[in-house]
A and B are shown apart, each in its own frame.
Chain A
Amino acid sequence: MGILEVKDVGKRFGGLQALSDVNLSVRENTCHAIIGPNGAGKSTLLNCLVGKLIPDTGSVMFDGQSVLGRSPHEINQMGISRVFQTPEIFGDLSVMENILISLFAKRDGAFRMHAFESVADERGLQEEAERMLDEVNMLDKRQMHAASLSRGDKRRLEMAMCLVQKPKLLLLDEPTAGMARADTNNTIELLKEIKEKRNITIAIIEHDMHVVFSLADRITVLAQGTPLVEDVPQKIKGHPKVKEAYLGEAA
């Protein structure tokens, strides 16, 4: 039994069957990669996990509870954090504030009326946020407006916002897209360390095979909304069906 159990999930957009019969089981403290060509339905699948979309059929269980019908903030409070394909950050706020908001959400829940306390007084959270920024090498940028960061930095910030919440399950949608090679390698190191030391389960969508094979314990290949194969990385590498999915009919 995995921490995340996706059963027979299907999702239709008008005439397009974006997902059909998706079954996926992610075991605790592993890194599960989901790969597949553009438009395969990878992001749509993540959307079904975090309450952005409600699947037409099937069930999604996290940690023994169904996530279907819950709103995004409730699902996050259950322990799922997500990094989006296009960075979603608080652009008008400083880098530091972005991290602090995550920490407040983790500590105080979905809503708390703390209108007379001062953010500056939260020494504990401030230090925690600084440690997190240090870990992603962004401490020197903590006073910048998040909107003025480079694309790669926005991604790292979003990842830091998720990590600082110590989620049980971290969902990453192409976390290294738009990053320089060095940053990609740093990200790989960071994620490796997270997996090994912090009991965070990771589900990652990624086109960069270097990243996938550095991190994944298992890989699911998705094509046209259905999982083709699921296996350990070594077996996926030379799998004929995978080649076919990626290279299309030409193979």
Chain B
Amino acid sequence: MSDQSQTTGTIAPKAASRPGASGAAGRSRGTLGLAGKDFRLLLLVVALTMLAPFILNPFPQTSGLAQFNAGYPDLMQRFVIYGIFAIGFNILFGLTGYLSFGHAAFLGVGSYAAVWMFKLVGMNVLPAILLSVLCAGLFALLIGYITLRRSGIYFSILTLAFAQMCFALAYSVLTPLTGGETGLQLALDDPRILGTSQTASGNIPVPSLFGLEMRESVDLFVGGWAFTFNAGYYFCAIVLLLSFYTAIRIFRSPFGMMLRAIKSNQQRMRYTGLNPKPYALAAFVISGMYAGLAGGLMASMDPLAGAERMFWTASGEVVLMTILGGAGTLIGPVLGAGLIKYMENILSKINSDILHGWFAFMPDGLEDFVITVIYPFIGKGWHLTLGLMFMAVVIFLPGGLVEAGQRISRAVRGKKGHDTTDSKSEHAE
């Protein structure tokens, strides 16, 4: 942080000679209402999401490294859905500094709402998702109104308590509404007033977007590679892009600036004539709606919802994602979500047989030793790796993956000759 401000200080006089021509506040609007830099970031995310089936499948199916491929629909969907969850969480935590430990409750509410929509109305995902967002938003309004009376650790504890309460309710008391332990599932005798209860072949219909089934996929085989293009994934990806775009606009808006002011100094805010409470509540509701959206998408990809989606570990996960990627940055939460979901699904699948395969070239004693050392960090032990990574990030890279990227690019640029224009404060990247 401090070295950034140093650089800023040294270039400032130059900028001042042409007032209004540059700088965070002086940037003018470009395409889609975004400044050039933000628009390039959006384009990057467009490219990453649209080309994900290629990017995530770099290894031919037959190669030994194919197990590191992540380009299958199920996992790609999870990448973007959790990305949306984290983008929304970051609007609350990254901007206002209010650390909620209960956001999974909104995710769960969104999922239940969507499944009910599939049961009662029809299998179109659009109305289902709209209801998810609405329900989660209303629910967040209620919970936010109560929990935001406190700040700091008390706020975190209150949100945690609320979410656990919701989990307990969903798990037992509200069974007629939530399906309890088994979860809420579709059945053949659901009314689906705007659709059909069952298909001609007697099956439960699947979620679709005006007839386009979410599970539909097209495979492309090129040489040894297989790429899968899944309708559900692309639907989620487009929702992610809209979410990301909305987040950029919020970050650059006066509202977003007020949210950062909350984090910085609420006292100053009050004596400047601003009421921090409704701003914080608005941020809470918006992030709750993002969580509901993610929950609705989850149900749209796989039409069932269970109470475990509200469990506190799920709330903790989105905190990890946001901090790991870079809280308060635009792209950080998306990267964090991707990294954690990748580790959860890929790292956890490596078992000792696979390790033996990799280290077979070593002499026996050494091989066993290396495997003994690595083994606790893979398979079921992936949480250990995650924990260590998280600690390393918090201690050495408080800005998360985004800060890592910035440091690398600064080092690279530094070698090419000193940079002149770009060194202004990059705190809201």
Give chain A's interface residues, CB within 8 Å of chain B. Answer: 50, 71-73, 76-77, 81-82, 84, 88-94, 96-97, 100-102, 104-106, 108-123, 126-127, 129-130, 139-145, 147-148, 161, 165
B24 an interface residue at 8 Å Cβ cutoff?
A: yes
Q: Which A residues touch B272, using CB under 8 A?
A: 73, 76, 81, 101-102, 105, 161, 165
User: With A92-B427, A139-B16 in contact, do A111 and B274 touch (Cβ < 8 Å)?
Assistant: yes
Among candidates A92, A116, A119, A144, residue contacting B8 with C-beta atoms closer than 8 Å: A144
- A114 close to B273 (CB less than 8 A): no
Closest beta carbon of chain A to B289's beta carbon, Å: 12
**A94 lies within 8 A of B255 (CB):** no
* Contact residues, B259-314 vs A (CB, 8 A): 260-261, 263-265, 267-275, 278-279, 282, 286
Smallest beta-carbon distance B144→chain A, Å: 15
- Report yes or no: A140 in contact with B256, Cβ–Cβ below 8 A: no
Q: Kindly list the 9 A-B residue pairs having the minimum CB-CB distance in the complex, ordered from nearest.
A: A76-B273, A148-B5, A115-B255, A72-B270, A105-B273, A110-B275, A90-B264, A92-B264, A88-B268
In the complex, which residues of chain A have a beta carbon less than 8 angstroms from the beta carbon of B4? 145
Bound: A92/B6 CA distance, A? 14
Q: How far is the CB of B101 from chain A (nearest CB, A)?
A: 23
Q: Is the CB of B253 within 8 A of A119?
A: yes
Give CA–CA (A43, B279) in the complex, Å.
Answer: 29
**Chain B residues, CB < 8 A from A81:** 271-272
Residue among B4, B19, B286 with the highest chain A CB neighbour number at 10 A: B19
Which of B26-34, B81-89, B340-348 lies at the interface with chain A? B26-34
A61 CB to closest chain B CB (Å) equals 19
In the complex formed, the residue of B with least CB distance to A50 is B271
Interface of B is mostly: helix
User: Contact: A101 with B270, CB < 8 Å?
Assistant: no
Given the complex of chains A and B, what is the CA–CA distance between A118 and B25 in angstroms? Answer: 10
A114 to B254, CA, bound (A): 6
Cβ–Cβ < 8 Å partners of A97 in chain B:
24-25, 257, 260
Give the residues in chain A near B268, CB-CB below 8 Å: 88-90
Please, which residues of chain B bring their CB within 8 A of the CB of A111? 274-275, 278-279
List, in ascending order, chain A residues with CB within 8 A of B27's CB.
120
A140 vs B19: C-alpha distance in the bound complex, in angstroms? Answer: 10
- Report A-chain residues with C-beta under 8 Å of the C-beta of B267: 88
Which residues of B come within 8 Å of A, CB atoms? 1-2, 4-6, 8-9, 11-13, 15-16, 19-20, 23-29, 33, 35, 249-250, 252-258, 260-261, 263-265, 267-275, 278-279, 282, 286, 424-425, 427
Q: Which of A94, A115, A161 contacts B25 (CB 8 A)?
A: A94
**Inside 8 A of B249's CB, which chain A residues have their CB?**
115-116, 118
Q: Looking at the complex, which one of A93, A94, A113, A119 makes contact with B282 (CB distance below 8 Å)?
A: A113
Cβ-neighbour of B29 out of A76, A114, A118 (below 8 A): A118
* Nearest A residue to B270, CB-CB: A72
Q: What are 5 contact pairs spanning A and B, CB under 8 A?
A: A97-B260, A114-B253, A118-B29, A126-B20, A140-B13
Provide the bound-state CA to CA distance between A142 and B254, in Å. Answer: 17
| Residues of chain B with a CB closer than 8 A to A71's CB | 270, 275
Chain B residues with CB under 8 A of A110: 273-275
- The CA of A165 and the CA of B25, in the complex, are separated in Å by 19
Chain A contacts of B13 at CB under 8 A? 140
- Contact present for A141 and B9 (CB under 8 Å): yes
Tell whether, in the assembled complex, residue B26 and residue A101 are in contact, meaning their CB atoms are under 8 Å apart.
no
User: How far apart are the CA atoms of A147 and B275 in the complex, in Å?
Assistant: 22
- Minimal beta-carbon separation of A45 from chain B (angstroms): 16
Q: Is the CB of A73 within 8 A of B275?
A: yes
B11 to chain A, nearest CB (A): 8
- Across the interface, A144 reaches (CB within 8 A) one of B12, B20, B282, namely B12
Taking the closest CB of chain A, its distance from the CB of B277, in whole angstroms, is 8
A121 (CB) vs chain B CBs: closest residue: B29
Cα A207 to Cα B189 in complex, Å, equals 82
A139 partner residues in chain B, CB cutoff 8 A? 16, 19
Q: Is the CB of A90 within 8 A of B253?
A: no
Name the B residues within 8 Å of A144 (CB-CB).
Answer: 5, 8-9, 12
B254 partner, pick from A94, A122, A145, beta carbons under 8 A: A122
A76 nearest in chain B by CB position: B273
- Given known contacts A81-B272, A96-B23, A111-B274, what 11 new A-B pairs fall within 8 Å (CB)? A94-B25, A97-B25, A100-B254, A101-B274, A115-B255, A119-B25, A126-B25, A139-B19, A141-B12, A142-B25, A145-B427
Which residue on B lies nearest to A106, using beta carbons? Answer: B273
* B274 x A105 contact (CB < 8 A): yes
Q: Is A120 a contact of B275 with CB atoms below 8 Å? A: no
Contacts of B427 in A (CB 8 A): 92, 145
Contact B252 A120 (CB under 8 A): yes
Instruction: Say how far B143's CB is from chain A's closest CB, in angstroms.
Output: 19
A116 touches B271 (CB 8 A): no
CB distance from B171 to the nearest CB of A (A): 35
Out of A76, A106, A108, A119, name the residue touching B252 (CB < 8 Å).
A119
Q: CA separation between A100 and B23, bound complex, in Å?
A: 14
- How many Å lie between the Cα of A120 and that of B27 in the bound state? 6
- CB closest residue in chain A, given B6: A148
Contact assessment for B28 and A89 in the assembled complex, using a CB-CB cutoff below 8 Å: no
Q: How far is the CA of A123 from the CA of B29 in the complex (A)?
A: 11
Residue numbers in B under 8 Å from A92 (CB-CB)? 260, 263-264, 427
> Which of B35, B257, B273 contacts A77 (CB under 8 A)?
B273
B19 touches A104 (CB 8 A): no
Alpha-carbon separation in the docked complex, A89 to B278 (Å): 21
Q: Distance in Å from the Cβ of A147 to the closest Cβ of chain B?
A: 8
Complex partner residue of B15 from A102, A105, A143, CB under 8 angstroms = A143
Contact, CB under 8 Å: B279 / A142: no
Complex Cα spacing A84 to B8, Å: 27
**Which chain B residues border A108 with CB–CB below 8 Å?**
254
